[in-house]
Structure 1
Amino acid sequence: MSAVIFIPARYASSRYPGKPLVELTGVNGEKKTLIQRAWEAAQGVSRIDRVYVLTDDDRIAEAATGFGADVLMTSSEARNGTERCAEGLAQLDTDPDVVVNLQGDAPLTPHWFVEALVSAMDGEVQMATPVLKCDRATLSNFVTDRREGRVGGTTAVMRSDHSALYFSKEVLPYVGDLSTPPEVWHHVGVYAYTPHALRAYAQWPEGPLERAEGLEQLRFLENGTPITCVPVEARGRVFWELNNPVDVARIEEVLSKEGIA
Structure 2
Amino acid sequence: MIPFAVADAFTDTPFAGNPAAVCLLKGWPSDEWLRRVSREMNLSETAFLVHRQGTEYELRWFTPQVEVELCGHATLASAHVLWTSGCEGRDVIRFHTTKSGELQARRLSSGEIALDFPAKPATPCAPPAGLLESLGARAVAVARNQFDYLVELATAAEVRALAPDFTQLAKVECRGAIVTAPANDAPFDFVSRFFAPAVGVDEDPVTGSAHCCLAEWWGGKLNRTDLTGFQASERGGVVRVVRTNGRVQLIGRAVAVTRGELLVPPA
TM-score by length of 2: 0.28
Structure with bigger strand share is 2
Question: Per residue, is there more helix in 1 or in 2?
Answer: 1
Q: TM-score, with normalisation over the residues of structure 1? A: 0.29
